[in-house]
């Protein structure tokens, strides 16, 4: 299903590029836009995950350099029936995490130092299980490609201002204004449509993997609270990547409300608490990981 969604996304973004190219440069502009879009689609499919990790300065860790975090992810991946993903740590005080990769065989999970230091073991396991749920549900391809293409759309809108005087632009300055306004909005709408429902599903699947819905609920509450006090400067500079994170990392600028791609945290917590009640009535899933001792787990 997600492959079909990704194909639709790529086709939609390509069509948007063609429309923008025509507005900026007529038929020749459309040809150039098509070539650019085709190249970007191929590049995004194969390299979008690496690009996002690079944007956030994530460093890969292993059992020797981060035995705690790596061990948690390895145990959860085994429970989920997934190949062991690559594990990354981002030097960022804001507690948060995301997953990326075009398929489970090429997946990666990344956690911030703020997340590792704030959460206890059960809570950290809940968060990483949520991210592995995105991998198992094959959300990561669509989410990561969207982030890459949405950023490109924003750049294209900025470039539009430099081509306003082109004689080939059929709509003149009005075309440039429309491109600058509508392109990022179109990309934003695609982001929100893709990620909101995914978060509820990943919460549920992640809680099943970890066996502890209340630990994930507690983690979400802590992350959301700290996220309002601690800036994530990289996310503020690249708001098109905000939908990748388990909790929206944006809050420092007024424009960030436009990229609010996550459901209300209170609603997610309520759903997890309901899930825990149902599990108490009908025990299911693996037992939660032991120990409530706090990090650091790296």
> Which pLDDT does position 35 carry in this prediction?
76
Burial grade of 281 (CB within 10 A; 0-12, 13-18, 19 or more): exposed
Which of 128-137, 142-151, 284-293 has the largest mean confidence? 128-137
Instruction: Kindly report the backbone phi and psi dihedral angles of residue 55, in degrees, each rounded to the nearest multiple of 5, phi listed first.
Output: -55, -40
Provide CATH code, domain 2-9+27-146+197-281.
3.30.2010.10
Whether residue 196 has pLDDT greater than 80: no
Left, alpha or beta for 211 (phi > 0: left; psi -120 to 50: alpha)?
left
Asked whether the bond before 201 is cis by omega within 30 degrees of 0, the reply is: no
Domain residue extents for the chain: 2-9+27-146+197-281
- Mean pLDDT for 145-158 is 65
Residues 6 or more apart whose CB falls under 8 angstroms from that of 209 comprise 76, 79, 80, 129, 132, 133, 136, 285, 286
pLDDT tens per residue, range 15-72? 777 776 776 667 776 777 777 777 766 766 677 788 889 999 999 999 999 999 999 9
Instruction: Please list, in sequence order, all residues whose beta carbon lies within 8 angstroms of the beta carbon of residue 177, skipping any fewer than 6 positions away.
Output: none
Does 131 qualify as catalytic in the annotation?
Answer: yes
Helices 172-210 and 67-80: crossing angle, nearest 10°? 80
Q: Which of 27, 105, 123, 131 is catalytic?
A: 131
Cβ–Cβ under 8 Å, residues 292 and 214: no
The pLDDT tens digits of the residues spanning 112-121 come to 999 999 999 9
pTM > 0.85: yes or no: no
Contacts of 23 (CB under 8 A, 6+ apart): 29, 160, 169, 170, 171, 175, 176, 178, 179
DSSP element (H, E) containing 96:
none
The pLDDT of residue 232: 93
């Amino acid at each position: 299903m997600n492959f079909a969604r990704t194909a639709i996304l790529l086709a939609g973004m390509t069509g948007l590029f063609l429309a923008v190219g025509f507005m900026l440069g007529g038929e020749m502009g459309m040809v150039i836009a098509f070539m650019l879009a085709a190249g970007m689609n191929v590049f995004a499919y194969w390299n979008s995950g690496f690009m996002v990790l690079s944007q956030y300065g994530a460093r890969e860790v292993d059992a020797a350099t981060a035995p705690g975090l790596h061990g948690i992810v390895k145990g959860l991946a085994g429970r989920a029936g997934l190949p062991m993903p690559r594990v990354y740590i981002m030097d960022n005080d804001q507690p948060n995490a995301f997953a990326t990769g075009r398929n489970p065989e090429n997946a990666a999970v990344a956690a911030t130092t703020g997340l590792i230091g704030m959460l206890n073991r059960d809570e950290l396991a809940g968060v990483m299980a949520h991210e592995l749920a995105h991998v198992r549900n094959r959300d990561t391809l669509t989410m990561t490609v969207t982030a890459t293409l949405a950023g490109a759309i924003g750049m294209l809108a900025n470039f539009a201002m430099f081509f306003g005087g082109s004689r080939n632009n059929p709509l003149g300055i009005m075309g440039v204004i429309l491109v600058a306004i509508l392109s990022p909005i179109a990309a934003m709408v695609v982001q929100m449509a893709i990620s909101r429902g995914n978060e509820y599903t990943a919460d549920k699947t992640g809680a099943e993997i970890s066996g502890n819905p209340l630990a994930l609920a507690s983690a979400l509450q802590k992350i959301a609270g700290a996220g309002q006090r601690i800036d994530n400067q990289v996310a503020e500079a690249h708001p098109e990547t905000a939908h990748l994170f388990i909790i929206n990392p944006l809050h420092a600028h007024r424009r960030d409300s436009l990229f609010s791609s996550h459901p209300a945290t209170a609603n997610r917590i309520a759903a997890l608490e309901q899930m825990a009640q149902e599990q108490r009535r009908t025990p299911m899933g693996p037992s939660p990981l032991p120990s409530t001792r706090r990090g650091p787990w790296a």
